[in-house]
């Protein structure tokens, strides 16, 4: 039996947890209806992000959206980078099993 899927964009955003509220607002503004959020740890330009203190805790937000929405989202996220926020954003093609969600 053939399973019906569709290809969408999966966008992942790694940011400091202080940006959580603001990022959720941005997602809403560009029409993203849902997201998955993790508390994550790591290291990089901003130093050790141990998750111990409010200032060194990172989050990872994951959304799966149609191409057009992902482009709008990328544009909105670019605004954060322009302001100087340390954000890691990347997107990959994702084969999605629940195409009905994406019309």
* Residue 31 within binding range of other proteins, rule CB under 8 A: no
In the list 9, 17, 59, 63, the residue contacting other proteins (rule: CB under 8 A) is 17
Give the CA distances from residue 96 to residues 11, 14, 24, 32, 93, in Å, rounded to whole numbers and listed in that order.
Answer: 13, 22, 22, 16, 9
* Residue 19 within binding range of other proteins, rule CB under 8 A: yes
CB atoms within 10 A of CB 100: 8
Within residues 61-100, the interface with other proteins by CB under 8 A covers 80, 82-86
Return d(Cα 38, Cα 47) in angstroms, integer. 19
| Cβ atoms 9, 65 nearer than 8 A | yes
Return d(Cα 61, Cα 90) in angstroms, integer. 11
* Residue 51 within binding range of other proteins, rule CB under 8 A: yes
* Residue 56 within binding range of other proteins, rule CB under 8 A: yes
* Residue 28 within binding range of other proteins, rule CB under 8 A: no
| Of 20 and 94, CB closest to other proteins | 20
Q: Which residues bind other proteins (CB under 8 A)?
A: 16-19, 22, 39, 45-48, 50-56, 80, 82-86
């Amino acid at each position: 039996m053939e399973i019906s899927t569709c290809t969408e964009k999966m966008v992942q955003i790694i940011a400091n947890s202080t940006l959580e509220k603001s990022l959720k607002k941005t997602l809403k503004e560009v029409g993203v209806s849902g997201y998955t959020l993790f508390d994550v740890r790591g290291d990089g330009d901003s130093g050790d992000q141990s998750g111990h203190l409010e200032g060194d805790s990172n989050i990872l937000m994951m959304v799966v959206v149609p191409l057009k929405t992902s482009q709008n989202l990328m544009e909105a996220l670019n605004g954060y980078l322009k302001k100087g926020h340390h954000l890691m954003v990347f997107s990959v093609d994702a084969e999605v099993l629940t195409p009905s969600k994406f019309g």
